A = this chain, B = another copy of it.
C-alpha cells in the first residue's frame, strides 16, 4: 500500500492506494487542516502527529510525494518545505522509503499525458480508483494521484507485486 501526500501547513492531503494486480483501490483519503491561529511550530506538530497516526493505522509500504519546483515566492517555498520536512520525518521514523515524482510524471502516470490539466488528472484519478466522484478536497485528490504514480512506477521496475 502506498501513502501519497500533498504537503502543506494549512492543509495536507493524504491518500492510500493499494493494488490487487489488476486494479487500484483507494483505501483511505482525506486532508488534515491546521488553524492559522496556532504558532507555526504547533501546526507542524499537529500535522506530524496526525500523519504518524495514519501511518500507524494503515502501515503503508511506501510514501510518494511530489517534487516541488516553485516559481512562486520564497516565503511560500519555505512554508511548504517546513510541512514537507515533518512529512518526510514521519516516513523515516516509521522506516518507510519516500519516493519523489515530478508533476509531469504524476500527470503522465494518471492521465497518460504530461500536459494534462488539473481537472483531467482528477477525473482520471477517480476513474482509476473506481470512485463515484472526484475526491475532495483537491489536496486529497492530488495525494491519491501521486500515490497512483508510485504504484505504476513501482510495478514497472518490479518494486511491488503484480
Binding site for B on A (CB under 8 A): 39-42, 44-45, 48, 68-72, 74-75, 77-86, 88-89, 91-93, 97-98
Contacts and interface: CB of A to CB of B under 8 A. Distances in A.
Given A82-B81, A84-B85, A86-B85, A98 B39 contact: yes
State the 10 A-B residue pairs at the shortest beta-carbon distance, nearest first.
A81-B81, A85-B85, A82-B85, A45-B92, A70-B74, A41-B88, A77-B77, A41-B92, A78-B81, A41-B98
A78 B85 CA distance: 9
Q: For the complex formed by this chain, how many copies does it contain in all?
A: 2
Given A98-B39, A98-B41, A74 B68 contact: yes
A139 to B, nearest CB: 17
Nearest to A48: B89
Nearest to A97: B39
A44 B85 contact: yes
A48 to B, nearest CB: 6
A77 B88 contact: no
Nearest to A69: B74
Contacts of A82: 81-82, 84-85, 88
A82 B88 CA distance: 8
26 contacts: A39-B97, A39-B98, A40-B88, A41-B89, A41-B92, A42-B92, A44-B85, A44-B89, A44-B92, A45-B92, A48-B89, A69-B74, A69-B75, A70-B74, A71-B74, A74-B74, A77-B78, A77-B81, A78-B80, A78-B81, A80-B81, A81-B81, A81-B82, A83-B85, A85-B85, A89-B89
